[in-house]
Amino acid sequence: MGATQLTTTGGTETFPRAQVIRFRRSSIPSPSPPLVFDAARLRHESNIPTQFIWPEEDKPCLEAEEIHVPVIDIHGFLSGTGPAAAETLEIIREACKKHGVFQVVNHGVDTGLVTEAYRCMDEFFGMPLTEKQRAQRKTGESYGYASSFTGRFSSNLPWKETFSFRHAADPDSAGHAEVEDYFVHVLGDSFRQIGRVFHEYCKEMNRLALEIMELLSMGLGVERTYFTDVYKVNDSVMRLNHYPPCQKPDLTLGTGPHCDPTSLTILHQDEVGGLQVFIDEKWHSVRPIRDAFVINIGDTLMALCNGIFKSCLHRAVVNSKTPRNSMAFFLCPTMEKVLSPPSELVDDEHPRKYPDFTWSQLLEFTQKHYRADTMTLNVFSEWLLKNQTTTHPASKKLK
């Protein structure tokens, strides 16, 4: 595998292949006007810009074989009214150890809220590009609207538009309608109602994420409240993904292969389908189930589990006819919390796999130095160890 050089404030670093974010340098004259991803126009284009054409090894298989991702009745499990608890726990444990993905039903999230959230997404993404750009995500920021990542990356561009916003939770200071305020701030008062819908949706995602954390603590055999305690105060991100049709769906990807650098992702996909997971050395599609959420383990949780539960490798493909929407709630710890696995998961036979770090460090790494992909956690760990200082909490060496 080749290597790409990137010069940052920390010096010159070598990272594998073309994974490094290629920064646009204003000093280099650009021969053509900047690329703009205007979905309304590009969805009809059969000559797609080369920046959207992915390398041969990443080109999608649109007819990938479906895989049955385990479906867990979460209310049944937590209330003790569902199928035998021990069996359910074993299914979760196996799925998380092998590939890091399962689905939940009977989760208590009102289907009306999900439908309403999709309606609001249609309203937002259906606006002309210039209207959406009022909420433009700025360089280095994690929130806002991005039409593909034309200003951020220069190749392997994803065929999608995204709108991301923050949802911080703290049970001791609940009540602040952060999402609603954000919508009004960036888009104006006419977006208050849409902001309210997404605020409600995020609150529900936060509740569900903490319930799933209870399940995962049990699956790992640590104290039932262990991960709920870590995440009850959190600094999470909600992302709306809109994938317009593409006349060359076999050449591009909606979202490239990656593991989420975050802790836990609660994904809802509409009925169109396009999510694929990499299991047993093959890409498989995950058929949408209207009442289910897909749960992915992310890199941060994998590090907190000392590698026992795996971060799920996934991607999204597009199609030539039907626009697709998905909603991802990324549970994240607070920025400066030092993340290290519980002592029960570390011993002589299972030494520490990753160094201590903070979410703020990993987030910065994925936003400024490295485009999140299949190897983020390993590359980040090496980078941390190389750049460690004696004063930072994340500077402890691997045992």
Ligand X SMILES: C=C1C[C@]23C[C@H]1CC[C@H]2[C@]1(C)CCC[C@@](C)(C(=O)O)[C@H]1[C@@H]3C(=O)O
Catalytic residues: 324
* Contact predicate 242/125, CB 8 Å: yes
* Contact predicate 374/259, CB 8 Å: yes
Whole-angstrom CA distances from 353 to 218, 341, 346, 378, 398 are 21, 10, 9, 9, 7
Q: Among residues 158, 195, 245, 274, which is the contact residue for ligand X, using CB under 6 A?
A: 158
Whole-angstrom CA distances from 299 to 254, 309, 314 are 21, 10, 13
Q: Which of 297, 277, 280, 260 is nearest to 376 (CA)?
A: 260
Residue numbers 216-255 binding ligand X by CB under 6 A:
237, 255
Q: How many residues does the chain have?
A: 399
Q: Which of 299, 61, 251, 242 is nearest to 155 (CA)?
A: 251
Binding window for Fe ion (CB under 5 A); candidates: 159-167, 260-268, 318-326, 373-381 = 260-268
354: which 2 tokens? 């990753």
Binding window for ligand X (CB under 6 A); candidates: 60-68, 258-266, 338-346, 350-358 = 258-266
Output the smallest distance, CB 131 to ligand AKG, in A: 23
Q: What share of the chain is helix, strand, coil (3-state, %, to 5)?
A: 35, 20, 45
**What single letter denotes the amino acid at residue 303?**
A
Bridge partner residues of 71 (DSSP):
103
Q: Which of 91, 72, 92 is nearest to 82 (CA)?
A: 72
266 binds, among Fe ion, ligand X, ligand AKG, none (CB under 5 to 8 A by kind): none
The answer for residues whose C-beta is within 8 angstroms of residue 291's C-beta and 6 or more apart is 105, 111
35 burial level (CB within 10 Å; 0-12, 13-18, 19+): middle
**What single letter denotes the amino acid at residue 333?**
P
Q: Among residues 330, 359, 370, 380, which is the contact residue for ligand X, using CB under 6 A?
A: 330
For the chain, what is the largest distance between any 2 Cα atoms, rounded to a whole number of angstroms? Answer: 65
Output the smallest distance, CB 265 to ligand X, in A: 7
User: What is the C-alpha to C-alpha distance for residues 290 and 292, in angstroms, rounded to an integer?
Assistant: 6
Output the smallest distance, CB 241 to ligand AKG, in A: 5
Output the smallest distance, CB 244 to ligand X, in A: 15
261 binds, among ligand X, Fe ion, ligand AKG, none (CB under 5 to 8 A by kind): ligand X
Output the smallest distance, CB 316 to ligand AKG, in A: 4
Q: Among residues 147, 263, 269, 340, which is the contact residue for ligand AKG, using CB under 6 A?
A: 269
326 binds, among Fe ion, ligand X, ligand AKG, none (CB under 5 to 8 A by kind): ligand AKG
Q: Among residues 211, 260, 299, 373, which is the contact residue for Fe ion, using CB under 5 A?
A: 260
**What single letter denotes the amino acid at residue 270?**
D
Output the smallest distance, CB 237 to ligand X, in A: 6
Output the smallest distance, CB 234 to ligand AKG, in A: 17
The answer for residues whose C-beta is within 8 angstroms of residue 112's C-beta and 6 or more apart is none
Q: Among residues 366, 377, 381, 384, which is the contact residue for ligand X, using CB under 6 A?
A: 366
Please report whether residue 239 would count as binding ligand AKG according to CB under 6 A: yes
Decide whether 323 or 342 has the Cβ nearer to ligand AKG.
323
* Contact predicate 229/304, CB 8 Å: no
230 binds, among Fe ion, ligand X, ligand AKG, none (CB under 5 to 8 A by kind): none
Binding window for ligand X (CB under 6 A); candidates: 81-89, 179-187, 279-287, 363-371 = 363-371
Number of residues that bind ligand X (CB under 6 A): 13
Decide whether 53 or 105 has the Cβ nearer to ligand X.
53
**Residue holding tokens 């049944």?**
76
Binding window for ligand AKG (CB under 6 A); candidates: 43-51, 106-114, 269-277, 387-395 = 269-277
Torsion of CA 36, 38, 39, 43, to 10 degrees: -80
List interacting residues with ligand AKG (CB under 6 A).
Answer: 239, 241, 255, 260, 267, 269, 274-275, 314, 316, 326, 328
Site for Fe ion, rule CB under 5 A = 260
Binding site for ligand X (CB under 6 A): 158, 237, 255-256, 258, 260-262, 330, 363, 366, 371-372
